[in-house]
Amino acid sequence: MRHIIISAMLFSCALSAVAQGITSSNRELSRPVFMSYRNTQSALRGEWSESENYSPLSGEWFVKWFDNPRHIDTMMLKTNAVTSDLKKITLPAAFRLQGVGGEAIFAEKAYTFLKDSPLKNDFAKPRGGAALLMRDFSVPFDYLDKAVFFHIGAASAAVTLYINGVKVGYSTDSRNPAEFDITKYIVRGRNRAALVVDEFCDGSYLEDQTGWRLGGVNREIYLFAQPKIRVRDYTVRTTLDPTYKNGLLETALLLKTQLLNPHTVTVYYDLYDPDGNLVNQAQKDVQIGMRYQDTVRFTATILDVKQWSDETPNLYTILYRIKRDTKWSEFIAVKSGFRTVEIKDGRLLVNGKAPKIKGVNLAEFSPSTGNVQSKEDIEKVLKQIKERGFNAIRTDGYPLQNYFYELCDRMGLYVWDVANINAQGIGTSIYKGRTLANDPAWRDEFIFRVDNTYQRNKAHTSVIMWGLGDNAGNGYNMYEAYLMLKAQEQTRPIAYNGAGLEFNSDIFCPDNFDLSKLAQIKPIMDGQPVILSRCTEAVWDVEGVQGGFLTRWQSPAISAGGKFARLSDDYRLQQLGSGKVELPNAESFDLGKRPVVVREVKRGVYEFENNLQFANLKDINIDYQIIQKGKVKESGRIAVDVAPGERGAAKLKIPILQKISKAEIVIRVGYFGEFRF
């Protein structure tokens, strides 16, 4: 059985000078990232640029660095303040690769705001500089009759937002979005946004992930607007019935009004299958009172659904439509796949089957831009991971940007989503004064970060496991975070590598576990699957182990210029001539067989080798193109019936093949690979 260590005598006291600080002020509660549209067609296409409610603010900003945040002149935040003598920076950006805030420091466990271990420094309050960022923006005319929000994708380590010189709010948790309601702060015409991005905050003790300490605003910034009666949040659960054939849909919308008078709105729900066919719909009338919020729920059973898995990532589309006073006011589209995740007989099951979890740990990193990843960067990395035969990703100590989850939904990659909590530099002892995880003064900080991750990513089908954090010790705060998450999440397990055999992890998932000891602990594991959070070899082929995640996908070597240093675990700072820090990585790891292999037998005839675990190739989209002189002469889709572990041939019955010479034939098998002949 699993053990619960919750004795009061083991609780640590408030850790001296730095008790848990303020996590946020006037910040919107976390929710899924979505966009509001004005019609069905735009919502179903999902192109944010088509929405009148989206105004990007990434791009050129003015910046000034202050070694002491108290020296920031608040007069600079005003709309009429002169900015011509300030440096410019393009956001998103890693500050220290742009010459803002000093040298870039690489650390594995040490805290860059300390000169020695926190246990020897009595947990001194983190102190550092701050960047002041400013830019002017104009508000579209129709925004003045809407609720308007300012979205900051990620800012390290804490951010304060000012609009037209007035403080709007504050937020920590540097790996989750911060959203602020700026409706009452904006004016018609020109406005000024200012961000004060603190280098460190109290929460920095929980952000000790191995990697470069670069600071910055490393994800997208934008404004978005919604009607005064709006969808504030939604929940989607798309699972399977006990036969694993029919889909069970539960969805709830939280409607909120900022109007002073009560109104009746009609909420419509439409469900489209992966081919775009409408398969279910419903509607409900709701009376919304003055400055009130209410929940609207829909449930449905969908017969013979197309399942979502890593091999067959079939996505349905849910369209929410809101009508107020006979006029359409809001359209929101959500992608979701039908799948069931459960633990039975010591195995993690997806749709009733136990997949081998062939995973990698993935951080938000690009050699040229540090902790800033473009959409193209993410697409390239996930394409490599998928085609090489991996089927799962563990976010390497913190949640990644929203586009990552959208791609994993679409491509079929299982995600273990880890909250932004890592305190490996403190250690994992649960005894007094030894870990923040067992100090009740830090409870709210732990809950805040776990809940942020869950609320933002709860609607993503690819997330099949939640992580409470990464190597942050265990104790009261982690127990509370587990219980909080379990109260909200009934369909996916929780896995924490710092729990050991305690109750607050549904999966036994330590780092780099000595598998020779597995037989000794099996009798007391209480039916937990074994999936290692970090490993250096293909443990998914070891008896009794369902899977694991290779330690990191790519080495954290930076190719950009700048000043670099490395801080050792014993707090010795070494200057580096470049950012080329090399660590073991999985980028060149050979899994042997690719998921699907295509070979040319003769012109127009191809052999397909299916190395997948469960899916027949007839259930996967296989597309072809015939290209001559750079132009696509013909394209289409072919059906190939090949079972897992088998080989089979297919012929392209295309007359044009006989008429043209020197043509290139391209065959793409889902997201498993592209083959050129």
Contacts of 300 (CB under 8 A, 6+ apart): 249, 271, 280, 282
Sign of the Cα torsion 471, 405, 294, 168 reads positive
Contacts of 530 (CB under 8 A, 6+ apart): 507, 508, 509, 518, 544, 545, 546
* CA angle at 361 for the pair 357 and 363, rounded to the nearest 5°: 150
Residue 291 in tokens: 């400055």
Assign a CATH topology to domain 24-225.
Answer: Jelly Rolls (2.60.120)
- Give the per-residue pLDDT at 2: 53
pLDDT band, residue 20 (cuts 50/70/90): very low
* Range ranked top by mean pLDDT from 51-65, 73-87, 626-640: 51-65
Which contacts qualify for 3-9: CB closer than 8 Å, 24 or more apart?
Answer: 3/501, 3/502, 3/503, 4/479, 4/502, 4/503, 5/430, 5/474, 5/475, 5/502, 6/476, 6/479
The predicted model scores a pTM of 0.95
Give dist(CA 360, CA 579) in Å, integer.
Answer: 23
Residue 18 has pLDDT above 90, yes or no: no
Arithmetic mean of pLDDT, 549-566: 94
Q: How many CB atoms lie within 10 A of CB 329?
A: 18
Give dist(CA 137, CA 61) in Å, integer.
Answer: 11
Give dist(CA 525, CA 3) in Å, integer.
Answer: 9
Bridge partners, 285 (sequence order): 266
Arithmetic mean of pLDDT, 181-208: 96
- Give the per-residue pLDDT at 3: 45
pLDDT band, residue 227 (cuts 50/70/90): very high
H/E element holding 229? Answer: strand 229-240
| 56 or 10, greater pLDDT | 56
- Give the per-residue pLDDT at 246: 98
Least confident of 59-63, 91-95, 421-425, 521-525: 521-525
State the architecture of 8-12+346-560 in CATH terms: Alpha-Beta Barrel (3.20)
Give dist(CA 182, CA 166) in Å, integer.
Answer: 10
pLDDT above 70 coverage of the chain, percent: 96
Give dist(CA 199, CA 209) in Å, integer.
Answer: 15
Chain segment 125-139, per-residue pLDDT in tens: 899 999 999 999 999
Per the prediction, the chain carries an average pLDDT of 93
Give dist(CA 70, CA 58) in Å, integer.
Answer: 26
CB 586 within 8 A of CB 550: yes
Please give the single-letter amino acid code of residue 93: A
Residue 624 in tokens: 């072809």
Strand, coil or helix: 340: coil
Residue in 278, 277, 279, 281 with CA at minimum distance from that of residue 266? 281
For CATH 3.20.20.80, the residue range(s) in the chain are: 8-12+346-560
State the architecture of 229-336 in CATH terms: Sandwich (2.60)
Please give the single-letter amino acid code of residue 362: L
Residue 427 has pLDDT above 90, yes or no: no
Give dist(CA 272, CA 280) in Å, integer.
Answer: 7
Contacts of 433 (CB under 8 A, 6+ apart): 12, 13, 15, 16, 119
Chain segment 434-443, per-residue pLDDT in tens: 889 999 999 9
Give dist(CA 333, CA 42) in Å, integer.
Answer: 9
* CA angle at 178 for the pair 172 and 183, rounded to the nearest 5°: 130
- Give the per-residue pLDDT at 400: 98
State the architecture of 596-676 in CATH terms: Sandwich (2.60)
Contacts of 514 (CB under 8 A, 6+ apart): none
Give dist(CA 155, CA 177) in Å, integer.
Answer: 8
CB 504 within 8 A of CB 421: no
For CATH 2.60.40.10, the residue range(s) in the chain are: 229-336, 596-676
pLDDT band, residue 432 (cuts 50/70/90): low
**Judging by beta carbons within 10 Å of its beta carbon (0-12, 13-18, 19+), is residue 621 exposed, middle or buried?**
middle
Give dist(CA 492, CA 506) in Å, integer.
Answer: 10
Arithmetic mean of pLDDT, 328-340: 98
